[in-house]
Amino acid sequence: MNKRSSSLPDRETMIKALQERDRSFEGIFVTAIKTTGIFCRPGCRARMPKLENVEFFATAKEALSFGYRPCKLCKPMEQYGEVPDWLKSLLKEVHQNPGIKLRDFELRERGVDPARIRRWFKKHHGMTFQAYLRALRINQAFGTIKLGEKVTASAFDSGYESLSGFNKAFSDAAGFTPGKSKSNHIINITRILSPLGPFLAGATEEGICLLEFTDRRMLETQIKRLKKRLNSELLPGTSKYFEPLSRQLQEYFEGKRKEFSIPLVTPGTDFQKKVWQELQTIPYGKTRSYEEQAKAINNPKAIRAVARANGDNRIAILIPCHRVIGKDGSMTGYGGKIWRKEYLLELERNNM
């Protein structure tokens, strides 16, 4: 007998998300339409069905087990934002050679429509493909200057034909001139997919400093604070930490991993660092109240301050602020949205 998951938000919330085509509910539910026999993502652009013909499932697997088939428009069997097959080989080439320049005719020679890749990058990264290539070149140049190469050599190695053009592009992207590279820093950023929607991940040379859902309301504020704390700018790029982070997150969501082994960079006040360190001692599948967290850091009256520090955590899941709940067991205070908090706690309970 097919069974329906009990981890869904209430129907009113899901209907509101459906009507607003709210993509932040990716991974929380899929919408099944009784009259057509198909199921869709929350953000599907297809014609809005009549609400009496709609039912909701927690996963595509559940919808399939009840006899529904996936929508051909929004493709709910694929992870949202997943790199399509037609783009994978090109991105592999770009990441292996971050100084590459690719004009439209060169993209066509590789079998890629320039307009198509432009649209995909704008939709999923908020920038054009050419802007992404420029950011990678600047990132590469920053690294070579940091290691001692002269600015002029880095400019020409990065494909720029003039030093002035390189200086302007570098300053526009990095927020400081190439000559200040040795005293400033770059945070490499990338997107990492998950069943709950995409993350924005950031890394320095020392470890992961950012892992937030891309739709988090406070994301811009957190980025500004991080940039100020680390005297850094954010640029798309690669990091030795991104592959293991992506792999370990996948294992976590599959219920195969309970602890992470990625080095973390957590700039903050002494109090914030103490709270974040204590968060990492909460066992997988367990929860604590804010009051219990305050006692754990030997400051039992600092309940509100602990809650604020939890909210200022910039590294979701690895620093498990989702394991802190209200004293009465209520799901409160999660910047990644309460539905995700409920999902994560149920995931952990089911895999203890």
Q: How many CB atoms lie under 10 A from the CB of residue 53?
A: 11
- Rounded CA-CA distance 153/181 in Å is 14
Q: Which of 40, 71, 209, 321 is catalytic?
A: 321
- As a whole number of angstroms, the distance between CA 193 and CA 80 comes to 7
Residue at token pair 């979701």: 316
Least confident of 134-138, 200-204, 222-226, 342-346: 134-138
Convert the pLDDT of each residue in 11-67 to its tens digit. Answer: 898 999 899 988 778 777 899 999 998 999 888 988 899 999 999 988 777 887 787
Separation between Cα atoms, residue 289 and residue 309, nearest integer Å = 14
Q: Would you state the pLDDT for residue 161?
A: 41
Mean pLDDT (whole number) for 133-156: 50
To the query of whether residue 40 is one of the catalytic residues in this protein, the response is no
* pLDDT of 160 over the 80 cut: no
Structural domains of the chain, with CATH:
11-70 (3.40.10.10), 85-243 (1.10.10.60), 245-350 (1.10.10.10)
H or E element: which one contains 303? Answer: helix 303-311
Nearest-angstrom CA–CA distance, 352 and 47:
41
Lowest mean pLDDT among 9-23, 155-169, 268-282, 325-339: 155-169
Q: Which amino acid is at 329?
A: G
Q: Residue 198: what pLDDT?
A: 80
Q: What is the average pLDDT score of the chain?
A: 81
Residue 7's pLDDT is: 61
Q: Which residue has the higher pLDDT, 287 or 43?
A: 287
Specify the residue for token string 């070579």: 144
Q: Which long-range contacts (CB under 8 A, 24 or more apart) does 212-221 make?
A: 212/314, 212/316, 212/335, 212/336, 213/24, 213/316, 213/336, 213/337, 213/340, 215/23, 215/24, 215/337, 216/335, 216/336, 216/337, 217/335, 218/311, 218/335
Q: Who's near 251: CB < 8 A, 6+ residues apart?
A: 257
Whether 213 shows a pLDDT value over 80: the answer reads yes
pLDDT value for 58: 82
Q: What is the DSSP letter of 335?
A: T
Average pLDDT over residues 134-157: 49
pLDDT single digits (tens) 77-110? 776 666 778 888 888 888 777 677 888 999 998 8
Length of the chain in residues, anyone? 352
Q: What is the pLDDT of residue 193?
A: 81
pLDDT of residue 24: 72
- Give the contacts of 302 (CB within 8 A, at least 6 positions apart): 271, 294
Quick one: pLDDT at residue 132? 79
State how far the Cα of 214 lies from the Cα of 39, in Å rounded to an integer.
24
Residue ranges in 72-113 assigned as alpha helix (H): 85-96, 104-109
Q: Got the DSSP string for 30-54?
A: EEEETTTTEEE-TT--SPPPPGGGE
pLDDT digits (tens, 9 = 90+) for 299-343: 999 999 999 999 999 999 999 999 999 888 888 878 888 888 888
The pLDDT of residue 168 is: 53
DSSP SS3 for 343: helix
Residue 287 pLDDT greater than 90, yes or no? yes
Tokens encoding 292:
């219990």
Confidence of residue 266 (pLDDT cuts 50, 70, 90): very high
Q: What separation in angstroms does the CA of 349 have from each of 37, 206, 317? A: 32, 32, 15
